[in-house]
């Protein structure tokens, strides 16, 4: 079981290491560039659209590994798993949506409608829903119809959180690399072939492209990559918790894998709503963006988040055993660490503002290295 995901991972890494330079040249030829301005951290135009390599490699790899597992002799062909069709179709549509947004800055409400349609279609095809929250207290309760609604909110919500978190070099690539690897291990542990392969391909494709985005950015992921990548991770989390071979894996364990992005995105949304600021207006109030504004480098921020991602992934893998004691301990430690980190960032920002005499204004574009 481990061999197929391992070779899928290596193939994805090799393919994107080789293909991304070619893609960068094509993006430059089409003038898909981020032009630096006063708020940018780069001083020359950088191509935007590196996520195309991730999406294309995942789709190609998933198709290839499915064909190898279900060969054609005697016409014994089997239809792909509903999860595979749902994820592939959703990624393709969101990649096209993101590409158009990279070129034309689409209306956010148009994007939301498309994302809702994609989420609904993916759940219908895959049969996945949030059956229960998997909390380590209070027992399990089937959410019924509410589980479908929560699953739609989850898919759309995390897709956009991932997009918002793609704001400094390497950060989104790291989450896709480490998150995909963790879900691959979850799939191997439960003999879920589709989950293991999907996670391995996601991890390998992101790692192969990471070289061209971190520490120095030769290409940005772009919405063409961040929207389908966020959707992919959200689908992997649903499959890990509620797939046909989940074997009691609590959804909370799957959420641990994505916790750094979930906490930053969720805290920022609630904070803006609490202060009566439009959460849909471009801003730079994410925790990682606040660190950047205080003078911390892209590399330092990304490496700190990567460490948190590794620790949270370990917690998720440990929690897969559905041991309430392990889940409670992991949840407590993660919440404590997240709270400490948030307080640290807020204090650092206030100290920086005091020293410089600036008045805080976080209503700036989401991507500090990108133009508005």
Q: CA 250, CA 254: separation in Å to the nearest integer?
A: 7
pLDDT tens for 42-74 read: 567 899 999 999 999 999 999 887 766 655 444
Mean pLDDT lowest for which of 80-89, 91-100, 164-173, 297-306? 80-89
Give the pLDDT mean for 233-240: 96
- Residue 272 domain-assigned (yes or no): no
Cα distances (angstroms) measured from residue 328 to each of 93, 175, 318, 331, 337: 38, 24, 11, 5, 14
Judge whether residue 115 has pLDDT over 90. Answer: yes
Domain range for 198: 3-252
- Residue 181 resides in a domain: yes
pLDDT computed for residue 68 by the predictor: 66
Q: Is residue 128 part of a domain?
A: yes
Q: What's the confidence (pLDDT) of residue 371?
A: 35
Residue 186: pLDDT over 90 = yes
Q: At 209, is the pLDDT very low, low, confident or very high (cuts 50, 70, 90)?
A: very high
pTM greater than 0.85: yes
CA distances from 200 to 11, 241, 251, 290 (A): 10, 17, 20, 32
Average pLDDT over residues 102-106: 87
Look at the chain and report how many structural domains it folds into: 1
In a domain, 290, yes or no: no
Lowest mean pLDDT among 166-180, 213-227, 240-254: 240-254
Residue 34 has pLDDT above 70, yes or no: yes
pLDDT in tens, 187-202: 999 999 899 999 999 9
**Which residue did the predictor score with more confidence, 372 or 364?**
364
Question: Looking at 95-104, 150-159, 344-353, 361-370, which range is the least confident one?
Answer: 361-370
* pLDDT at res. 43: 62
Quick check: 5 and 22 in contact, CB under 8 A? no
Residue 45 maps to a domain: yes
Average pLDDT, the chain: 87
What does the CA dihedral 264, 265, 271, 274 come to, rounded to 10 degrees? -150
What's residue 362's pLDDT? 56
* Residue 153 confidence (pLDDT): 96
Residue given tokens 């929250």 in the structure block: 133
Residue 345 pLDDT class (50, 70, 90 cuts): very high
Residue 2 pLDDT exceeds 90: no
Please give the pLDDT value at position 321.
77
Is residue 357 reached through a cis peptide bond, with omega within 30 degrees of 0 on the bond before it? no
Contact 291, 309 (CB under 8 A): no
pLDDT at 13 over 80: yes
Average of per-residue pLDDT across 115-142 = 88
| pLDDT for the residue numbered 213 | 95
pLDDT band at 269 (very low <50, low <70, confident <90, very high): confident
H-type alpha helices, the chain: 3-29, 51-69, 82-104, 108-126, 145-165, 171-189, 193-210, 223-242, 251-257, 259-274, 287-293, 298-319, 324-356
- Residue 341: is its pLDDT beyond 90? yes
- Name every residue whose Cβ is closer than 8 Å to that of residue 124 and which is 6 or more positions away in sequence: 86
Query: Which pLDDT value is given to residue 271?
Result: 86
What local confidence, expressed as pLDDT, does residue 368 receive? 44
Question: Would the pLDDT of 339 be above 90?
Answer: yes
Q: Is the model's pLDDT at 203 over the cut of 80?
A: yes
Asked if residue 50 belongs to a domain, the reply is yes
Query: Is residue 225 situated within a structural domain?
Result: yes
């Amino acid at each position: 079981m481990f061999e197929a995901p391992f070779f899928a991972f290596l193939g994805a890494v090799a393919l994107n290491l080789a293909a991304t330079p070619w893609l960068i040249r094509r993006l430059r030829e089409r003038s898909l560039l981020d032009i630096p301005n006063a708020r940018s951290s780069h001083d020359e135009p950088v191509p935007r659209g590196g996520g195309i390599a991730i999406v294309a490699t995942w789709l190609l790899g998933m198709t290839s590994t499915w064909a190898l597992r279900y060969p054609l002799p005697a016409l014994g062909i089997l239809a792909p798993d509903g999860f595979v069709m749902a994820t592939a179709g959703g990624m393709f549509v969101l990649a096209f949506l993101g590409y158009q947004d990279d070129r034309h800055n689409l209306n956010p409400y148009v994007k939301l409608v498309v994302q809702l349609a994609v989420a609904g279609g993916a759940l219908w095809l895959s049969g996945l829903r949030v059956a229960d929250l998997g909390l380590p207290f209070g027992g399990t309760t089937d959410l019924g119809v509410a589980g479908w609604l929560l699953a739609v909110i989850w898919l759309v919500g995390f897709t956009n959180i991932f997009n918002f978190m793609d704001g400094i070099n390497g950060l989104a690539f790291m989450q896709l690399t480490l998150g995909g690897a963790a879900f691959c291990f979850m799939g191997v542990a439960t003999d879920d072939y589709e989950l293991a392969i999907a996670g391995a391909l996601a991890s390998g494709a992101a790692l192969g492209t990471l070289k061209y985005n971190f520490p120095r950015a030769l290409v940005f992921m772009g919405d063409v990559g961040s929207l389908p990548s966020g959707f992919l991770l959200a689908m992997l989390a649903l499959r890990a918790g509620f797939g046909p071979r989940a074997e009691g894996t609590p959804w909370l364990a799957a959420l641990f894998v994505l916790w750094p992005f979930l906490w930053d995105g969720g805290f920022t949304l609630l904070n803006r709503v609490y202060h009566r600021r439009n959460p849909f207006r471009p801003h730079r109030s994410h925790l990682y963006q606040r660190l950047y504004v205080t003078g911390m480098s892209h590399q330092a921020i990304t490496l700190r988040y990567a460490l948190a991602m590794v620790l949270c992934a370990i917690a998720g893998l440990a929690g897969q055993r559905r041991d309430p004691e392990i889940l409670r301990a992991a949840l407590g430690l993660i919440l404590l660490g997240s709270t400490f980190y948030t307080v640290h960032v807020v204090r650092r920002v206030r100290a920086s503002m005091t020293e410089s005499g600036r008045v805080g204004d976080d209503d700036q574009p989401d991507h500090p290295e990108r133009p508005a």
